[in-house]
Amino acid sequence: MKYILAFITLIQALLIVLWTAFCGIIGIVFIILTQQRRAIMLILEHYVWSPFVCAVALVRVKSSGLENLDRKGKYIYVANHASLFDIAAMCRACPVALFYIAKIELKKIPIMGHYMTVSGMIFIDRKNKESSMESMRRAGESIKSGRNVISFPEGTRSKDGTIGIFKRGSFLIAKENNIGIVPVTIKGTEKITPNGTFSLNSGTVKVHFNEIIQPEEFQHLTVEQIADLARNRIISSRDAL
């Protein structure tokens, strides 16, 4: 039985990889031809790529808190990070085009790295503090120019399901540029693709968009206090989901 399950998982993974490559190529072509990054990204990621990935994985994504979103505003979204499936869940749940702050190693992945570069994703070199801060400054400029940016401020996937301490970068962007923060709670992805394994399990993922933390709420807070504020809101809503 375990060999059958392993074979099914292999087929699922292969389909997801091939679909991701196909969508990446389509995205690269259309972005180059039209220069309409946000529109192409939203259509491709929310309506095309993520529904297929979720269907193949037999995963249902339930979104809540959409009434809290300001779809015409410019914000930095921050979410907890428990699984590789977090990105698919976010793409499926969020009706807004999001530009990711991603580790620079992803830039080397064929097709996907090129798509991320062409679409204007922001790469961060966590080993180089100066380069990292420059990337965060570019993220702030991207938001002010009209893009919504998302990051996973824990910096890495949680190993035990708990939500780790949030790193300062995302909240420094918000404070220095007077940008609102959208805390996003993701629950259930740790069971879909458990950390440290190659398994792919069916199930339900819940994504909740918490109330926006407006700049006036954190004007007198330190960057660390802002990070704690966002983290606590994510933890509170996660417990309630």
Q: Where are the domains of the chain?
A: 2-240
pLDDT digits (tens, 9 = 90+) for 215-241: 999 989 999 999 999 999 999 998 888
Tell me how far CA of residue 231 lies from CA of 35, 84, 129, 168, in angstroms. Answer: 35, 20, 23, 12
CA distance 100 to 225: 23
Q: How far apart are CA 33 and CA 67, in angstroms?
A: 34
* pLDDT tier at 42, thresholds 50, 70, 90: very high
Lowest mean pLDDT segment, chosen from 41-50, 90-99, 131-140, 188-197? 131-140
- Helix segments in the chain, DSSP class H: 2-34, 37-41, 50-57, 86-93, 112-119, 129-144, 169-177, 189-192, 223-240
Instruction: Give pLDDT tens digits for 101-126.
Output: 777 787 888 888 899 888 888 777 76
pLDDT band at 129 (very low <50, low <70, confident <90, very high): low
Alpha-carbon distance of 142 to 121, in angstroms, equals 10
Report the alpha-carbon distance of residue 102 to residue 123 in Å, rounded: 5
Residue 235: both structure tokens together: 């933890």
Write phi, then psi, for 207 (nearest 5 degrees): -125, 120
Task: Kindly provide the b/e burial profile for residues 92-118, where b requires at least 16 CB atoms within 10 angstroms of the residue's own CB.
Answer: bbbebbbbbbbebeeeeeebbbebbeb
Where residue 132 falls among pLDDT bands split at 50, 70, 90?
low
Q: What is the mean predicted confidence (pLDDT) over 33-55?
A: 94
CATH number for the domain formed by residue range(s) 2-240 = 3.40.1130
